[in-house]
A and B are shown apart, each in its own frame.
Chain A
Amino acid sequence: MISRRDFFKIIMGALLMPIIGRLLFTFPRKRVVRPPGAIKEDDFLRACIRCGMCIEACSRDGTGTLEPCGILDGIPLMGTPKVNPLKAPCEARYGRCEGVLPCVKACPTSALKWIEPDRIKLGSVEWNPKRCIAVLHGDCLVCAEVCPVPGAITIRRGLPVFHSNKCIGCGRCVNACPAHPKALKLTPKGERRST
């Protein structure tokens, strides 16, 4: 009924997808800033089915900061959501999404779980003084002006000082920074994931 050639075909077909997936899984991966309410990274990669519902919900009801990870972020992360502050800041706290969280409500597999607004911390901001206009020319404190968190960016002698323990990682300062290569970078350092 089944010849050897057919048997070979069946085995080849059945193993193709898992083998590609296994190969892709061993590639190196980067740490990216996840949307609010994401569970721990390993569990997140297991739970997320890359359906893109959170990205769609963010561009419809939110600010449009979420975008899918690409090849450069590492192949295991492909298709999962990340916060891109260059497009828009995440307004999950002190903004239009506070207490609403459309991305969390859109997630079908509970890879994003509901989180109280005062527990949201997506990461922190890294400051590069070599590019900062306040250091090079002076008279620029746009980051301190747009920051909604009291005490996250303080001013000392005309320069901004970043307190990473108070920063919620919303990315408003990164979005507003007028320096051409941005002097600020949003990193997942110090992020608080929901359990």
Chain B
Amino acid sequence: MLLVLLLYILLNSTGLISGNYCSLKVNGLFFICPIGFLQRAAINCSFTTSLIVGILISVVLIMLFGRLFCGWICPIGILMRLLGRTKKVKENIILLMSFTSLSVLLIISWLLRYPVFCLVCPVGIISRLIIWSVSGTINISSVVIGIFMFIIVMVFNVTIIGWCAGVCPLGALQIILSYFKVLRIRVKENCIKCKLCSRVCPLGLRIYEGKNVANMACMTCLKCVFSCPVKALKLRLSFSH
């Protein structure tokens, strides 16, 4: 995340890119948050045509590389990695949860005609806080809201279900889209089934079984790869499930 932030500052000072996680402008081309785009489409029942190219590029990137955003760029995802002390659930529930949260969000934002999630999205709020504190335009109320949302997410994490395990609609969309992804964690034959990978995984995925469902929800945080005692896990590029 620090690396990403440094890269951002470097590119921003040259004037090539501007914006934050919600929408990024690279040389005149907008890359908008897919959830914001979907909510806007659900509210107005129409698309903003100037955004389609950026959305298509980001969707293709997600389909190829999966949840790299969640594991390496998103501030909440980084905190999940560092904490690692969340309620863990089964993979089927993660998948079902992501479908439910996405559909409920879209239906409710269509009924209310209001982008509900953007108001409370902790990813957007906290990333905006970070980027504004870098650029020096920060005010007290956004800090208060950021801390409030952070506390809500952390309480939620410890008591009911992990935030990144499908509750966050942004992660849910990425879980669903990464069905065909290329960047997968492979289990070799010398696995001794010690289940250490499952214990260090921030989502509690059963990586040692090598199923597709676990790979779909994987954030590619590589904690399991580094913790494996017999080096049986490898990050590979492969199309097959």
Minimum C-beta distance from A44 to chain B (A): 11
| Residue contact B139 to A46, C-beta cutoff 8 Å | no
Our pick among A6, A25, A53, A55 for the contact of B112 (Cβ within 8 Å) is: A25
Minimum C-beta distance from A14 to chain B (A): 4
Cβ contacts under 8 Å, A57 to chain B: 18
Contact flag A22-B116 (CB < 8 Å), given A17-B105, A108-B51: yes
Our pick among A6, A14, A52 for the contact of B89 (Cβ within 8 Å) is: A6
| Residue contact A20 to B120, C-beta cutoff 8 Å | yes
A48-92 CB mask vs B (1 if < 8 Å, else 0) is 111111011101100010011011100110110000000000000
| Residue contact A49 to B160, C-beta cutoff 8 Å | no
Contact flag A109-B89 (CB < 8 Å), given A51-B23, A76-B119: no
Contact flag A52-B22 (CB < 8 Å), given A2-B92, A6-B89: yes
Our pick among B32, B135, B145 for the contact of A78 (Cβ within 8 Å) is: B145
| Residue contact A55 to B137, C-beta cutoff 8 Å | yes
A90-121 CB mask vs B (1 if < 8 Å, else 0) is 00000000000000001011100000000000
Taking CB atoms and an 8 Å cut-off, the chain B residues in 31-51 that contact chain A are 32-33, 36, 39-40, 43-44, 48, 50-51
Which of B3-11, B95-103, B200-208, B228-236 lies at the binding interface? B95-103
| Residue contact A17 to B116, C-beta cutoff 8 Å | yes
A interface residues, how many (CB within 8 angstroms): 46
Q: Is B188 an interface residue (CB 8 A)?
A: no
Q: How far is the CA of A110 from the CA of B37 in the complex (A)?
A: 12
| Residue contact B145 to A49, C-beta cutoff 8 Å | no
Contact flag A64-B36 (CB < 8 Å), given A47-B44, A110-B48: no
Contact flag A24-B160 (CB < 8 Å), given A13-B166, A53-B19: no
Q: How far is the CA of A58 from the CA of B204 in the complex (A)?
A: 44
Cβ contacts under 8 Å, A15 to chain B: 104
Q: How far is the CA of A190 from the CA of B120 in the complex (A)?
A: 31
Q: How far is the CA of A2 from the CA of B142 in the complex (A)?
A: 39
Our pick among A6, A52, A72, A78 for the contact of B20 (Cβ within 8 Å) is: A52
Minimum C-beta distance from B194 to chain A (A): 26
Which secondary structure characterizes the binding site on chain A? helix
| Residue contact A9 to B139, C-beta cutoff 8 Å | no
Taking CB atoms and an 8 Å cut-off, the chain A residues in 1-15 that contact chain B are 1-2, 6, 9-15
| Residue contact A72 to B141, C-beta cutoff 8 Å | yes
| Residue contact B120 to A51, C-beta cutoff 8 Å | no
Q: Is A16 an interface residue (CB 8 A)?
A: yes
Residue of A6, A60, A109 ringed by the most chain B CB atoms within 10 A: A109
Our pick among B44, B92, B132 for the contact of A46 (Cβ within 8 Å) is: B44
Cβ contacts under 8 Å, B19 to chain A: 51, 53, 56, 106
Q: How far is the CA of A64 from the CA of B124 in the complex (A)?
A: 21
Closest to A24 in B: B119
Minimum C-beta distance from A51 to chain B (A): 3
- A-B contact list, 11 entries, CB within 8 Å: A1-B92, A13-B167, A17-B101, A18-B117, A46-B40, A51-B36, A52-B20, A56-B135, A67-B137, A70-B139, A71-B145
Considering the complex of A and B, which 4 residue pairs feature the smallest CB-CB distances, nearest first? A70-B141, A21-B116, A51-B22, A49-B36
Interface set of B (CB-CB < 8 Å, partner A): 18-20, 22-23, 25, 30, 32-33, 36, 39-40, 43-44, 48, 50-51, 89-90, 92-93, 96-97, 100-101, 104-105, 108-109, 112-120, 124-125, 128, 131-132, 135, 137, 139-142, 144-145, 152, 156, 160-161, 166-167, 169
**Sample of 6 further A-B pairs with CB below 8 A, known A2-B92, A59-B135:** A17-B101, A22-B108, A52-B20, A53-B20, A71-B144, A108-B51
